[in-house]
Structure 1
Amino acid sequence: MVVDEDLLFADEEEFEPAVREPQRWRILIVDDEEEVHTVTRLVLNDFTFEGRKLDLISAYSGKESLELLRDTEDIAVVLLDVVMEDNHAGLEVARRIREDLNNPFTRIILRTGQPGQAPENKVISELDINDYKQKTELTAQKLFVTMTTALRSFRDLKTIETNRNRLLQLAMSVAHQIRNRTMSIAGFANIAVRELMAGEDVVSHLDTIRTEASRLEAMVASVSDFASLSRGAKEDLLLKPVIDEAYAATEKKLASKEISFADVATLSVNVNDLRIEADRDLIVRMLQELLMNAVVFRNEDCHITITAEPLGEGCILKIKDNGVGMSPETVSYIFDPFFSSLPDGVGMGLCTVRKIVDEHGWEISVSSTEHKGSTFEIVIPFLSGRAPREENKQG
């Protein structure tokens, strides 16, 4: 780790675990027998997947379950009884989840104590459910395996959907940006032609065309760079050397703009020797973009702090600055492609940060106050060498 007057590392100390925890997986238990809810909660009480615990929600009828599914976002798995209000209430719930609620993501695990009411072959072939279990065969170990498989499937489907939506957003943003630049270029070219024919000076118009062409080239380069970001193999990494590398990369990028990091900002780091599993190049890039953002939107006496605190099986990484800050409205747009409050900004830096966070399955949030600064918090659900408990303990 490079240490000098401008890169200050606080004395190491023992951190108290952070209060915040990674977002829990929402699981809906649908059964008309209270004992089933009690046993399921007991068995899954300590279950985790990718460092995230379960939020177990209970419904005691098909009608109640559909109301909860309609009103609650991102229910990952439904453990669904067949016989409730009537002999086929659970099957009707499964059908309506897919058809009426138009929900292809939630994983449906049918659990029945009366297999004769819902023959497995018939149910699997006619309904879009993901697993079928008899209650008598669903031991604790099998429930762990079933839950892990279902959550992995839900995670992958949501990732695909998120990437699809963001690709659409990116495509629309690119089209908008290209249209603006080409219209400007065409407009000033037409003016230049008319004035040139009239014997007037057209240098200013040509300069505008050149500027717009340069902006278009920068936009295309940024999109190409963004599209190339893809998580490679994860490594066991100490955070301190990674931050050191990001600092050096930021210094180099600022130097190309004739800005010295040491002259405009100081950096303090305290990460308590924590280790994470990540793609080294991507996390360095993520930290570089966040450091660049803090420097670009700095106040006088700019100070940036990077800390990491234990959080359950993982940690929470915080990048805090005392810069110009943002309004709530601005915060809501900062991760969108090409959003920038600078007239000459490309607006892909924080969009890149979000993509890298998503590639790792982490979470990012921002708090900011105008004229006081911003804090980016990244929740890393589990640390290097500490695999999720359902893989270590439940087997």
Structure 2
Amino acid sequence: MSDELVFANESESSGSGELRGTSGDWKVLIVDDQSDVHKVTRLVLDDFAFEGRKVTCMSAYSGEEAKKIMQEHPDVAVMLLDVVMETNRAGLEVARYVRAVAKNQFVRIILRTGEPGEAPEREVVTGLDINDYRQKTELTSDRLVTAVTTAIRSYRDLKMINDARRGLHLLAMSVAHQIRNRTIAIAGFANIIKRKGGNSPETSDYLGTILEESSRLEHMVNDVTKYASISLGEMQPSDIRELIETATNAIDTKQADLGGVVWEVLCPNQMVMVDPELFIKAFEAILQNSVDFSEGVPQIKIRVAPSRMICAIEVQDSGTGINEDDMPHIYDPFFSLKPKGSGMGLCIVRKVAMEHQWDVHIDSTPGEGTLVEIIIPRRDLTGMGS
């Protein structure tokens, strides 16, 4: 067989191809409206194996058929996706559906197009979560095998990381539960002793310390539980101004008896695709840090600078700042410069950012304040497919 793949122009449709192989095979979904593309791809991958597991080829001849298969088989490792099928951008709609609606971040999507003008490479790769972009004319059999191998390896690594994270989540929840039970018992017995005769000044001091430390430990356990429970929920088009207002109102409520907060908010009404609950949780943590490290009445500036491809959010305070020696540790669990802090605030911010694929940058000057910058990609609001 020649190394060059030849894709025919006719667009015959004959329904989904039958599966072959076992449940332990790597699943590769071919999405194209040309039957010859399916035949040639299957021929190339027929004897292909990676780490001792063969490939199971699945076929979809339209974007809608591909969406249905992805619902039924969320464990597809690689999708070889055509752009132009029942519509000029059907493939792009499939990619958007997989990431935003089905919330499948694991399948590796390789876009194959015979008409690059319908989906310019830069626009597609930056605007959608596409893992590879190939023109059909450049895909020889060797290059196809290389692309699929790279994609499967990436899928395997993502699944391994996810499994490890799930294991750590279960461990964290279990440990938190056990510590909470012991903390309740310690505090309970301390209160009993205090009521039954711990009236001397020295004993009262000791019992007070036990109760205070038990309360602090309980607070830390709650923060760890919140951290372990962070998981990306439904991504929704959300007005960023409303989200920031919700976060600032929560801080205002906490600061009501302490003089409040002076806000300077420069934020146009702009839509971003986020999990609103996680967004608010992350920004409450950022804003609470700004408040806690401010002297007197906190003064905090929030500036939102949207563009077509990203939305940048800056939070600037005029607080005590962070020393250079402490900067490398600001994301470490339980590292805190607050007397009663748990050290989980920026850990939560970083995890929310990782779930959303945001970038976080923190610059700080001791004695002058701290600037936190969040960069939110606007992949699903770029006008693609409209």
TM-score by length of 2: 0.53
> 2:246 maps to which residue?
245
> 1:259 maps to which residue?
258
Distance of 1:229 and 1:358 partners within structure 2:
11
How big is the alpha-carbon RMSD for the aligned residues of Structure 1 and Structure 2?
4.6
> 2:354 maps to which residue?
358
> 1:280 maps to which residue?
276
> 2:228 maps to which residue?
227
**1:280-301 CA-partner distances (Å, limit 9, x unpaired):** 2221222111111101001346
> 2:378 maps to which residue?
382
> 1:124 maps to which residue?
49
Distance 1:369 1:343, change over 3 A: same
Q: How far 1:331 sits from its partner (Å)?
A: 2.0
Distance of 2:350 and 2:44 partners within structure 1:
45
Q: Secondary structure at the match of 2:364?
A: strand
| 1:124 partner letter | A
Q: Secondary structure at the match of 1:368?
A: strand
Distance 1:366 1:132, change over 3 A: closer
Distance of 1:155 and 1:376 partners within structure 2:
32
Distance of 1:146 and 1:356 partners within structure 2:
22
Distance of 1:266 and 1:152 partners within structure 2:
51
Q: How far 1:127 sits from its partner (Å)?
A: 6.8
The answer to whether structure 1 residue 147 and structure 2 residue 132 are counterparts is yes
**1:243-288 CA-partner distances (Å, limit 9, x unpaired):** 1111111112334xx3232xxx311111232210112222122211
Distance 1:203 1:234, change over 3 A: same
Give the conservation status (yes or no) of the 8 Å contact 2:172–2:224. Answer: no
Q: How far 1:233 sits from its partner (Å)?
A: 1.3
The answer to whether structure 1 residue 298 and structure 2 residue 294 are counterparts is yes
1:62-141 map, 5 Å: 120-124=45-49, 140=114
Give the conservation status (yes or no) of the 8 Å contact 1:320–1:376. Answer: yes
Distance 1:275 1:234, change over 3 A: same
> 1:161 maps to which residue?
161
Give the conservation status (yes or no) of the 8 Å contact 1:307–1:318. Answer: yes
**1:19-70 CA-partner distances (Å, limit 9, x unpaired):** xxxxxxxxxxxxxxxxxxxxxxxxxxxxxxxxxxxxxxxxxxxxxxxxxxxx
Q: How far 1:375 sits from its partner (Å)?
A: 1.0
Distance of 1:279 and 1:160 partners within structure 2:
24
> 1:326 maps to which residue?
322
Q: How far 1:164 sits from its partner (Å)?
A: 3.6
> 1:206 maps to which residue?
207
Distance 1:165 1:251, change over 3 A: same
Distance of 2:240 and 2:277 partners within structure 1:
13
Distance 1:121 1:221, change over 3 A: same
Give the conservation status (yes or no) of the 8 Å contact 2:232–2:278. Answer: yes
Give the conservation status (yes or no) of the 8 Å contact 2:361–2:374. Answer: yes
How many pairs were matched up? Answer: 256
Q: Secondary structure at the match of 2:233?
A: coil
Q: Give the percent of matched residue pairs that are identical in Structure 1 and Structure 2.
A: 30
> 2:310 maps to which residue?
314
Distance of 1:126 and 1:159 partners within structure 2:
15
Give the conservation status (yes or no) of the 8 Å contact 1:308–1:317. Answer: yes
Q: Which moved more, 1:222-231 or 1:313-322?
A: 222-231
Q: How far 1:340 sits from its partner (Å)?
A: 0.7
Give the conservation status (yes or no) of the 8 Å contact 2:303–2:313. Answer: yes
Distance of 1:343 and 1:253 partners within structure 2:
18
Distance of 1:303 and 1:159 partners within structure 2:
44
| 1:226 partner letter | Y
Q: How far 1:367 sits from its partner (Å)?
A: 1.0
| 1:328 partner letter | E
Distance of 1:278 and 1:132 partners within structure 2:
25
Query: Structure with the greater relative contact order (CA < 8 A, sep ≥ 6): 1 or 2?
Result: 1
Distance of 1:254 and 1:307 partners within structure 2:
21
Distance of 2:44 and 2:362 partners within structure 1:
50
| 1:338 partner letter | F
**1:313-372 CA-partner distances (Å, limit 9, x unpaired):** 121111111111112332222222222112221122221111211221212121111111
Give the conservation status (yes or no) of the 8 Å contact 2:308–2:382. Answer: no
> 1:268 maps to which residue?
264
Give the conservation status (yes or no) of the 8 Å contact 1:236–1:277. Answer: yes
Q: Secondary structure at the match of 2:347?
A: helix
Q: How far 1:231 sits from its partner (Å)?
A: 2.3
Gaps of 5+ in 1: 1-114
Distance of 2:318 and 2:254 partners within structure 1:
21
Q: Which moved more, 1:325-334 or 1:315-324?
A: 325-334
Give the conservation status (yes or no) of the 8 Å contact 1:310–1:316. Answer: yes
Distance of 2:303 and 2:348 partners within structure 1:
21
Give the conservation status (yes or no) of the 8 Å contact 1:120–1:132. Answer: no
Distance of 1:367 and 1:141 partners within structure 2:
45
Q: How far 1:146 sits from its partner (Å)?
A: 7.0
Q: Secondary structure at the match of 1:282?
A: helix
| 1:332 partner letter | P
> 1:10 maps to which residue?
none
TM-score by length of 1: 0.52
Q: How far 1:158 sits from its partner (Å)?
A: 4.4
Gaps of 5+ in 2: 1-39, 56-76, 81-111, 125-129, 134-147
